A = this chain, B = another copy of it.
Amino acid sequence: MIVHIDLESKNPIYTQVRNQIIEGIAVGKLRAGERLPSVRAMASDLGINLHTVNKAYKQLEKEGFLNIHRQRGVVIAPEGIAKADEAYREALWHETRPIIAEAVCRGVSEAEFIEIIRTTYRSFKKGGETNGFGDH
């Protein structure tokens, strides 16, 4: 799992780490049960502090993406990622709303906007192979 940090980004480092791990899961590069580097190893790799990585891991655990065991290490949720519930869907609506509003103002057509979404979506879902999370 290769994570790249942009120190110039407006997003905090721990958010960048979080997002890239989620992308790794989405694209199937990280699979259920797979182990992630320890907070120290990851921090050392990226040249950042242990606590910054820990913050990303903790958030991912809280969001249901990871399981963290005291001495067993950090693992992609083996029983699968928590499926979308109503709370998540509502957050999704709120999150996308201002982005769409700005696109409308800037004259981005519905077709173009959806094409961007669709292309990105498929870039994750492609490879089609299961991410390891069947809906059991």
Surface stretch bound by B, among A33-41, A47-55, A67-75, A79-87: A79-87
In the complex, how many angstroms separate the beta carbon of A120 from the nearest chain B beta carbon?
Answer: 5
Assess the A23–B98 pair: CB atoms within 8 A.
Answer: yes
Binary flags per residue of A50-67, CB closer than 8 Å to B gives 1, else 0: 000000000000000100
Tell me the complex Cα distance, A36–B102, Å: 18
Known: A96-B116, A101-B26. A83 touches B110 (CB 8 A): no
Q: Is A3 an interface residue (CB 8 A)?
A: no
Which residues of chain B come closer than 8 Å to A23, judged between CB atoms?
A: 97-98, 101
Q: Is A107 an interface residue (CB 8 A)?
A: yes
Assess the B122–A110 pair: CB atoms within 8 A.
Answer: yes
